[in-house]
A and B are shown apart, each in its own frame.
Chain A
Amino acid sequence: AQTVTQSQPEMSVQEAETVTLSCTYDTSENNYYLFWYKQPPSRQMILVIRQEAYKQQNATENRFSVNFQKAAKSFSLKISDSQLGDTAMYFCAFMKPNKLKGAQKLVFGQGTRLTINP
């Protein structure tokens, strides 16, 4: 079974700094997707960024980028020029395509609580 591990329960940085959140996963699959989700204090979880395992190029979305190391099974999230609105729980997740009939099965990590201080 796949597992996802986030080793940093909490992190705190100053506004405008760069912060990196760690994630490792365990799988024997070769084709899969990885995700970072953000859950602000209002609690609705939203997708931040996704990475297809077959793509060597790291995904980027504005200030958010990932460092995907397939051999090491590592998938870290870098937030550049951090903003107060980035304060949230961040969850790393793994998915093997077509695992469920017509649905997606995501396996989540424990989450990292990130606080951006003014």
Chain B
Amino acid sequence: ETGVTQTPRHLVMGMTNKKSLKCEQHLGHNAMYWYKQSAKKPLELMFVYSLEERVENNSVPSRFSPECPNSSHLFLHLHTLQPEDSALYLCASSPEPGHRNTGELFFGEGSRLTVL
């Protein structure tokens, strides 16, 4: 299997549930990202991990909790979400910045989250 894989592809949860989104990359990249995609809004960068260290946290509510146990896996733990959190959550990865790498991100297909 190659590329960036996200599971589940669809998730429906109540506001009191606890669930997790999973992302796995098979590209040997060192950085991984969570983006939130809502209709008619720019993609919102949520979290960035580089070599398993969180290097960016864009004022995301604490009901979203990321975890990066190794450079190939990234999780987004969800608890007590609100209906406005319903969106497509995209995971991405990128290789080490350098001469041959000019910023391309490699995306998964996303997890469609619906909060009831």
Binding site for B on A (CB under 8 A): 4, 9, 33, 35, 42-47, 50, 52, 91, 95, 97-98, 100-111
Beyond A102-B55, A102-B96: 5 further Cβ-contacts under 8 Å? A9-B40, A43-B110, A50-B102, A95-B103, A103-B94
Binding site for A on B (CB under 8 A): 30-31, 33, 35, 40-43, 45, 48-51, 53, 55-56, 88, 90, 92, 94, 96-97, 102-105, 107-110
Total A-B residue pairs with C-beta atoms closer than 8 Å?
A: 76
Question: Can you pick out 22 interface pairs between chain A and chain B where the beta carbons lie within 8 Å of each other?
Answer: A4-B42, A43-B109, A44-B110, A45-B105, A47-B104, A50-B104, A97-B103, A101-B50, A101-B55, A102-B30, A102-B55, A102-B97, A103-B30, A103-B48, A103-B55, A105-B56, A108-B35, A108-B42, A109-B42, A110-B40, A110-B41, A110-B42
With A4-B42, A45-B90 as given contacts, are A103 and B31 in contact (CB-CB < 8 Å)?
yes
Instruction: Tell me the bound Cα distance from A91 to B51 in angstroms.
Output: 27
B48 touches A105 (CB 8 A): yes
